[in-house]
A and B are shown apart, each in its own frame.
Chain A
Amino acid sequence: GAVVSQHPSRVICKSGTSVKIECRSLDFQATTMFWYRQFPKQSLMLMATSNEGSKATYEQGVEKDKFLINHASLTLSTLTVTSAHPEDSSFYICSAGVSNQPQHFGDGTRLSIL
């Protein structure tokens, strides 16, 4: 069964809206979660690393004020896309892992900004 749950699976909203995506680890406590973005027919691009109880580490070129990440507990990380615009439309995927174990991924969130 799924060990990482991501919600919602799909969001359609108007330009200027802020959207929150949740990522939960179901069977384990994840000190580190990762947020990826995937464009059609392309691979996963890491956006940021989310560490429980501390500030997220963003990859080069990712606006931290645009993509707010909160990792308040060992089982929950959230990504908020603030003031979303059509160019933010994409497939967002989170993952979680423990120590040297493989990362397990959520089923992604399809974000469409009109």
Chain B
Amino acid sequence: EDQVTQSPEALRLQEGESSSLNCSYTVSGLRGLFWYRQDPGKGPEFLFTLYSAGEEKEKERLKATLTKKESFLHITAPKPEDSATYLCAVRHAGGTSYGKLTFGQGTILTVHP
């Protein structure tokens, strides 16, 4: 059974204080690890897809990396508008041709000005 564990559950940062979020996973036949951002009362917003160990993706202050067992979402010099819940999900070679996602519990990030 696929498992995704995110840590920490909650992270409070001062504006400009860089940090990292962790996503540990076990999956049979990984077909992508996804990072999403979710604001309160909204659906998740797609950030990154990583497919193989060693891969990195960047977007503004965010950088996602992937190893065979975990992924990190690095946040450099965060701003208050980066406050959100960050979700990690894995897609495996499921029963359908388009594999379903298994989500972690999320990390609630709060950035104080």
Using Cβ atoms and an 8 Å threshold, which residues of chain B touch A77? none
CB nearest to B106 among chain A residues: A43
Please measure, in the bound complex, the distance between the C-alpha atom of A43 and the C-alpha atom of B105, giving whole angstroms.
Answer: 5
Residues of A within 8 A of B104 (CB): 43
Given the known interface contacts A43-B106, A57-B95, the answer about A34 and B46 at a Cβ–Cβ threshold of 8 Å is no
A40-97, CB < 8 A from B: 42-46, 49, 51, 57, 93, 95, 97
In chain B, positions 40-59 with a C-beta closer than 8 Å to chain A are: 41-46, 49
Closest Cβ of chain B to A3, distance in Å, is 9
A25 interface residue per 8 A CB criterion: no
For B106, the chain A residues whose CB sits under 8 A away are 43
A108 touches B42 (CB 8 A): yes
Give min CB distance, B88 to chain A, whole Å: 9
Q: Determine how close the nearest CB of chain B comes to the CB of A75; give it in whole angstroms.
A: 16
* Chain A-chain B contacts (Cβ-Cβ < 8 Å), number: 57
Check if A49 sits within 8 Å of B103, measured CB to CB: no
Residue contact A108 to B100, C-beta cutoff 8 Å:
no
Residue of A nearest to B49 (CB): A102
Q: Which of B41, B46, B103 contacts A44 (CB 8 A)?
A: B103
CB-contact partner of A105 in B41, B44, B95, B105, under 8 A: B44
Q: Does B34 contact A (CB under 8 A)?
A: yes
Known interface pairs A44-B87, A103-B101. Does A6 touch B43 (Cβ–Cβ under 8 Å)?
Answer: yes
- Contact among A4, A34, A42, A107 for B100, CB-based, below 8 A: A34
CB of B43 within 8 A of CB of A49, answer no
Q: How far is the CB of B99 from chain A (nearest CB, A)?
A: 9
Which residues does A use to contact B, with CB under 8 Å?
A: 4, 6, 31-32, 34, 42-46, 49, 51, 57, 93, 95, 97-100, 102-108, 110
